[in-house]
């Protein structure tokens, strides 16, 4: 995708030109190794860019998912606050109703008391202008006189007290009623604010879900692009097929390899779940675990045809051994040889590292026949 066909076509054309003529009247110019390396480098750069974009999209997805989780938490909190406001509003409404009933009852009781006292006073006043005096001086004895004075005082005091109670009770009840009305209005206003916040959060959550769905689709497309461009092995295969020597591969038995480094086999040739990409795929070589900076030696004599960064493989050297056979040494820390250099078996070519896709320092070693990876194990001597 995105230019991959152009690169593939150029490399395959180069393969045909190296193998022989294309058959045109005017033979086309064969692609050079330098040109092929430049095209491969551009392809690997695009793949690296695609992976960077994919990583950014993945990061953005993670951030948006965290955002929507936080929004859900905020929505839950807002919903609880709304429920509390509504509950308090309902409670205050009930209290207000009860208080209004209490006010009405108190007013009826006070009216009754006041009517009773007023009746007593009216009865006294009906005695005429001297009603109060007639009541007092109509006593038959001194003790009766004292009793009448006391009774009259009580009636007058009670009437004054009842009037004061009525005023105080009405004032207190009105204050309580006003406080309840004010509190209910406040909770009603708070409930409106929470409703608006809840509505806004719900809209934001819906928006974020749409954004996540769109990013998921973009991420899937980017994954497809990366997987499509990811074939470092295919690019290496094309380079070797087009620029390395061509043969049937039957001469491999005539080439005796040595181990490029000495160490434990941490991952053999074959299908496995890749520790970096977590994809089930062919592991095209043998991984040999060695410390950083361990010297790497040529497994066989030949010509260096690639010494560059290859995405996934990191710093990589490919040596054309002749007869269609090539060796690949990946994840190097640095090189000790350069493209075009003839090397002898056992010669120092680089130093082990963990560049590219690697979880630790090691050497990834491949044997390829006409560009196709084969299991090196049957062609290797026992590990020293």
Closest of 379, 357, 108, 61 to residue 250, by C-alpha = 379
Q: What is the mean pLDDT of residues 131-138?
A: 56
**pLDDT of 137:** 54
SS3 30: coil
140 or 31, which is more confident:
140
Q: How far apart are CA 291 and CA 302, in angstroms?
A: 26
* pLDDT in the model for residue 8: 37
Q: How confident is the model at residue 320 (pLDDT cuts 50, 70, 90)?
A: very high
- Higher model confidence: residue 311 or residue 29? 311
Helix 232-243 vs helix 33-125: angle between axes, to the nearest 10 degrees? 170
Domains defined for the chain, CATH in brackets: 70-214 (1.10.287), 249-379 (2.70.70.10)
pLDDT band at residue 19 using 50, 70 and 90 as cut-offs: very low
d(CA 262, CA 268): 15
Position 13 scores a pLDDT of 37
Helices (H), 23-32: none
Q: What is the mean pLDDT of the chain?
A: 76
For 33-63, how does the pLDDT look when each residue is reduced to its tens digit (9 = 90+)? 556 656 666 766 777 788 888 888 888 888 8
Confidence of residue 88 (pLDDT cuts 50, 70, 90): confident
What does the block give as tokens for 277? 């990409």
**pLDDT at res. 71:** 81
Other C-beta atoms lying within 10 Å of the C-beta of residue 226:
18
Q: What is the pLDDT averaged over residues 175-184?
A: 79
Predicted pLDDT of residue 257: 92
Q: How confident is the model at residue 14 (pLDDT cuts 50, 70, 90)?
A: very low
Which residue did the predictor score with more confidence, 137 or 367?
A: 367
Residue 203: which of 75, 61, 83 has the closest Cα? 75
Please check whether residue 304 is in contact with residue 317, taking contact to mean a CB–CB distance below 8 angstroms: yes
List CB contacts of 117: < 8 A, sequence separation 6 or more.
155, 158, 159, 162
Res 111: pLDDT: 74
Residue 170 pLDDT more than 80?
no
Closest CA to 162 of 124, 112, 99, 121: 112
Contact 343, 258 (CB under 8 A): no
Q: Report residue 124: phi and psi, to 5°.
A: -70, -45
């Amino acid at each position: 995708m995105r230019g991959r066909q152009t690169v593939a076509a150029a490399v395959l054309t180069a393969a045909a030109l190296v193998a022989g003529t294309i058959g045109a009247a005017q033979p086309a110019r064969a692609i050079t190794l330098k040109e092929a390396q430049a095209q491969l480098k551009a392809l690997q750069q695009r793949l690296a860019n695609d992976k960077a974009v994919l990583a950014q999209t993945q990061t953005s997805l993670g951030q948006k998912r965290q955002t929507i989780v936080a929004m859900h938490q905020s929505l839950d909190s807002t919903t609880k606050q709304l429920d509390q406001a509504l509950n308090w509003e309902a409670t205050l409404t009930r209290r207000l109703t009860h208080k209004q009933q209490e006010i009405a009852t108190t007013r009826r009781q006070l009216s009754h008391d006041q009517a009773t006292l007023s009746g007593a006073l009216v009865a006294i006043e009906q005695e005429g202008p001297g009603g109060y005096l007639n009541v007092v001086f109509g006593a038959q004895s001194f003790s009766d006189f004292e009793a009448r004075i006391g009774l009259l005082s009580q009636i007058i005091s009670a009437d004054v007290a009842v009037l004061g109670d009525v005023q105080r009770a009405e004032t207190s009840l009105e204050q309580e009623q006003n406080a309840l009305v004010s509190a209910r209005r406040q909770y009603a206003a708070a409930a409106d604010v929470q409703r608006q916040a809840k509505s806004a959060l719900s809209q934001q959550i819906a928006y974020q879900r749409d954004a996540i769905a769109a990013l998921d689709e973009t991420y899937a497309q980017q994954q497809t692009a990366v997987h499509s461009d990811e074939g470092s092995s295919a690019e290496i295969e094309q380079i070797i097929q087009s620029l390395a020597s061509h043969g049937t591969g039957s001469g491999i038995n005539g080439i005796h390899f040595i181990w490029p480094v000495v160490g434990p086999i941490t991952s053999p040739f074959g299908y496995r779940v890749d520790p970096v990409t977590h994809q089930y795929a062919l592991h095209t070589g043998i991984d040999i675990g060695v410390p950083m900076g361990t010297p790497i030696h040529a497994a066989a004599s030949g010509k260096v045809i690639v010494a560059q960064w290859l995405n996934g493989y990191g710093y990589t050297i490919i040596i054309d051994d002749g007869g269609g056979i090539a060796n690949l040494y990946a994840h190097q820390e640095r090189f000790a040889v350069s493209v075009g250099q003839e090397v002898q078996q056992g010669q120092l070519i680089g130093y082990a590292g963990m560049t590219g896709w690697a979880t630790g320092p090691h050497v990834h070693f491949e044997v390829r026949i006409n560009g196709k990876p084969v299991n090196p194990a049957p062609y290797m001597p026992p590990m020293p």
